[in-house]
Copies of this chain bind each other. A is one copy, B any other.
Amino acid sequence: MADAPKAVVLPPGSTVGILGGGQLGRMLAIAAARLGLRTHVYEPGAAPAGDVAAQLTTASYDDLDALGAFARSVDVVTYEFENVPARALDAIEGVVPVRPGRRALAVSQDRLDEKRFVSGLGIAVADHAAVGSREELDAAIARIGPGILKTRRLGYDGKGQARVRGPEDADAAFAAMQGAPAIYEAWVAFEREVSVIAARGLDGAVVAYDPGENVHRDGILRTTTVTGAAGRGIRADAALIAGRLLNALDYVGVIGVELFVAGGRLLVNEFAPRVHNSGHWTIEACVVDQFQQHVRAVAGWPLGDGARHSDAVMENLIGDEADRWREIAAGGGGLHLYGKAETRPGRKMGHVTRLSPKT
């Protein structure tokens, strides 16, 4: 696959195309507008991002005509989710650059490729094995011990995953994959889950934000906490890992890297080639947040400073938790609601970030 044409720096007034119209696309569109850039959102379904975009196309990712027209109307294309179909990218890439590029998408779309890629860079990951059959699963459990079976592709927020405590869980776990190729990953007895949000510019410059400590429940991110203590002993290593990934992928844009802290060591769990839920705290705690940083990168602008001026705790509002908006608004903190028409259990409806003096 030839590289997309290296576009020149996009001046204010240019248009950034965004694949996906959810909350990440919405916050990207707002960030672009702040810099005087226009946005065109492409989304097959309901698009909260459409309310803050100069233009919205509602069409399927199979609609090559619509994708072509979209590509011709913009100066660069980026995306809010990593499962952009390859054929959609094909239709766009001949017209305008897609950033971050093909490589990052391909690697991150397949959990096994991702583990191999990261590990190939000399970065620690959990022990793992490909599972294409029941026999391979048995062998993996025997060799690795307790773990998690995950589909290699798709799945998010804990979907498409099955915990395996021992051989007795193998039947149920294998069935849960519904025949899809899978990866078996060792259960990591981590002390903490952290993530680092970093960016690489078109000029190769890399900027990392301070790492945040994440708490998940039912596979969904609940809180990210960024303090001096959260980053102690891992800040430099997390930034180095992110930088190594970004450079190896010749990446342009923001990446979210989830890590385990286990036995004082950092293991990469996964990365997302996009702005990341665990980076929402940057909106309040940094002058240039992850969304503006991403827009700067894909538009070829110089990256901003990633320094934070405050400590931050970001709390997701899941499902009907967002119904408490009035109480949360009164309680201080930076409230964000995503404009989703329908509240569903497990759905991310908004978040709130509370600041305190920097430690």
Question: Which chain B residues border A339 with CB–CB below 8 Å?
Answer: 12-13, 33, 36-38
Is A330 in the interface zone, CB < 8 Å from B? yes
Q: Are A302 and B287 in contact (CB under 8 A)?
A: no
Q: Are A287 and B284 in contact (CB under 8 A)?
A: yes
Number of A residues with CB within 8 Å of any CB on chain B: 47
Indicate whether A38 sits within 8 Å of B51 (C-beta atoms), given known contacts A33-B339, A329-B296: yes
- C-alpha gap A283/B296 in the complex (Å): 19
Q: Are B325 and A304 in contact (CB under 8 A)?
A: no
Q: Are B301 and A329 in contact (CB under 8 A)?
A: yes
Question: Which chain B residues border A333 with CB–CB below 8 Å?
Answer: 287
Is A30 in the interface zone, CB < 8 Å from B? yes
Q: Shortest CB–CB separation between residue A310 and chain B, in angstroms?
A: 5
Is A180 in the interface zone, CB < 8 Å from B? no
Question: Which chain B residues border A34 with CB–CB below 8 Å?
Answer: 30, 335-337
* Closest partner residue, chain B, to A33 (CB atom): B52
Question: Which chain B residues border A355 with CB–CB below 8 Å?
Answer: 287, 309
- C-alpha gap A284/B338 in the complex (Å): 21
Is A332 in the interface zone, CB < 8 Å from B? yes
Question: Which chain B residues border A301 with CB–CB below 8 Å?
Answer: 326, 329
Indicate whether A29 sits within 8 Å of B52 (C-beta atoms), given known contacts A36-B350, A350-B36: yes
Q: Are B341 and A13 in contact (CB under 8 A)?
A: yes
Is A229 in the interface zone, CB < 8 Å from B? no
Q: Are A287 and B334 in contact (CB under 8 A)?
A: yes
Q: Are A304 and B287 in contact (CB under 8 A)?
A: no
Q: Are B305 and A332 in contact (CB under 8 A)?
A: yes
Question: Which chain B residues border A326 with CB–CB below 8 Å?
Answer: 9, 301-302
What are the nearest 9 A-B pairs in CB distance? A36-B337, A302-B330, A51-B54, A287-B334, A52-B52, A36-B339, A33-B52, A12-B337, A305-B332
Known contacts A12-B339, A34-B336, A288-B334; 14 further A-B pairs (Cβ under 8 A): A12-B325, A26-B33, A30-B33, A34-B335, A35-B329, A35-B337, A36-B336, A36-B337, A36-B339, A39-B51, A50-B54, A284-B287, A287-B333, A301-B326
Binding site for B on A (CB under 8 A): 9, 11-13, 26, 29-30, 33-39, 50-54, 284, 287-288, 296, 301-302, 304-305, 309-310, 322, 325-326, 329-330, 332-339, 341, 350, 353, 355, 357
30 contacts between A and B (CB under 8 A): A9-B326, A12-B322, A12-B325, A13-B341, A29-B52, A30-B34, A30-B52, A33-B52, A34-B337, A35-B335, A35-B336, A36-B336, A36-B339, A37-B339, A38-B51, A39-B51, A51-B54, A52-B53, A284-B287, A287-B332, A287-B333, A287-B334, A287-B353, A301-B326, A301-B329, A302-B326, A304-B332, A305-B332, A309-B355, A309-B357
